[in-house]
Structure formats: structure tokens, C-alpha cells
Amino acid sequence: MNDILLIGGGGHCKSVIDTLENADEFNIIGILDQPEKIGSKVNGIEIIGIDEDLPSYFEQGVQYAFITIGSVGNVSFRKSLYEYAKTIGYRFPTIIDKSAIISSNTELHEGCFIGKGAILNTNVSIGINSIINTGTIIEHDCTIGEFCHIAPGSTLSGSVQVGHHTHIGTNSTIIQNINIGHNSLIGAGSVVINNIENHKKAYGNPCKVVDSH
């Protein structure tokens, strides 16, 4: 088994640990977080250092890392940590919970997390470092950009396009052929029936743009 380092010890980290521990693919050597948290544990896994320790663990032979910080609408921290770790040379696996159902011709890019019970139908593409959270349904021919978070229980109907860095709130429903832009935030429980442009905050049923984001 390859060693892996987790970056960020919050709630999302617990989900990733649970999935990894049920998979027997990686040996989690520890978590990096804030200095004051060193020595404490997340789901039994110790916080062993801070982000600045990434080069030293790489020199010690750890090749794999995973960003375990969640996000609701602001991915800049997740993204900067990913880019920093990539510069050092870390590799980012795709982590898929064993309960997820994924079509064989789905394209998953590095660093994605596919949570419990998610269903990804045929011809789906998920960009790097995106989170497809618990119980989400991504229907045929959908494309999800980089660093997105499709929050638990959402349903994306056929041929939906989601731009980079966009958050789809918990339990949202998006009808077929909708385009949602980059850096947008869709509130929880939204029913999206019209395209949403880049950099918009939108929510409700029907989902309406309420602000820039």
C-alpha cells in the first residue's frame, strides 16, 4: 500500500478517512493542519504537522497527498494547497467510496473525491479536485469543472455543465441542459431551471440570481 498524507483535518477529512479505511488502497500516515492541533486526532488519525511540512514528508518518500478541506463557495485555500503540493511533486489519487456507482466511461481527474452512494452515469467528466459528495446523482453527459463541490443529495440531470470553482448546495436539483458558470454559488435546496452565469450567487425554487459572488 502507498502512503498518503491528508491536508486539512475538518469534517470533510472524516469522510475521506472513512472511505480510505474501507478501501485498503492507501496507508494514511497522518494529517497536516494548524500548529495548535498537532498531536490531536481526527477519526483516529493523528495530525502530524502543518502545510509547511509537505516538502519534508515528500523528501522522506511520501508520494501521495489529498486535499481534505471542504468548501462552500470559496475554493481558494483548497486550490492554493493543491498547487503548492503539486509543485513539490505530490501525486493526487482519485478517491471513490466503495458504495458509489460509477459508469465505466466516466472521466475522473486527479484529486476528485466521490462520496458514499454517489451515482455517476455515462459520459460524465469530473475536473481535478472536485468533491462529489454523499448521495449525489450526476446524470449522463454532465461535465463538472475543477475544484467544484457538488454537495450532498444534489441531482444534476442530463447534459448539465458546471464551471470551475462552483458550489452546488446540498439537495439542489438542476434540470437537463443547464449551464452553470465558473465561481458561482448555488444555495441549498435550489431548483435550477435557467442557466447561471459566472460569479453569481443564486438560490431558491425556481433558482434566481441574488448577488455577485
Taking the C-alpha atoms of residue 154 and residue 19, their distance in angstroms, rounded to an integer, is 20
Minimum CB distance to ligand ACO, residue 133 (Å): 6
CB of 143 to ligand ACO, least distance (A): 20
Contact 182, 145 (CB under 8 A): yes
Q: Judged by CB under 6 A, which stretch of 52-60, 92-100, 156-164, 183-191 contacts ligand ACO?
A: 183-191
Is 8 a binding residue for ligand ACO by CB under 6 A? The answer is no
Residue 59 CA to residue 174 CA, distance in Å, equals: 45
Nearer to ligand ACO, 140 or 208 (CB): 208
We find the least distance from the C-beta atom of residue 117 to ligand ACO, in angstroms, to be: 13
Q: Which of 188, 191, 198, 199 binds ligand ACO (CB under 6 A)?
A: 188
Q: Residue 70 to residues 13, 79, 112, 160: CA-CA distances in angstroms?
A: 8, 11, 12, 23
Residues 77-116 that bind ligand ACO (CB under 6 A): none
Residues paired with 196 in a beta bridge = 180
Among residues 152, 153, 163, 181, which is the contact residue for ligand ACO, using CB under 6 A? 152
Q: Which is nearer to ligand ACO, 95 or 151 (CB)?
A: 151
**What's the CA gap between 67 and 9, in Å, rounded?**
10
Which residues is 84 bridged to in the sheet? none
Closest to ligand ACO by CB, 64 or 115:
115
Confirm if 38 and 53 have CB atoms less than 8 A apart. Answer: no
What mask, x for binding ligand ACO by CB under 6 A, covers residues 60 to 79? ----------x-x-------
The Cα-based distances of 122 to 40, 41, 113, 145 in angstroms read 42, 38, 18, 17
Residue with cell 501525486: 91
Q: How far is the CB of 74 from ligand ACO (least distance, A)?
A: 10
Residue from 136, 170, 183, 184 in contact with ligand ACO (CB under 6 A): 170
Q: How many CB atoms lie within 10 A of CB 83?
A: 10
C-alpha dihedral sign at 46, 49, 113, 133: positive
| Interface residues toward ligand ACO, by CB under 6 A | 70, 72, 133, 151-152, 169-170, 185, 187-189, 203-204
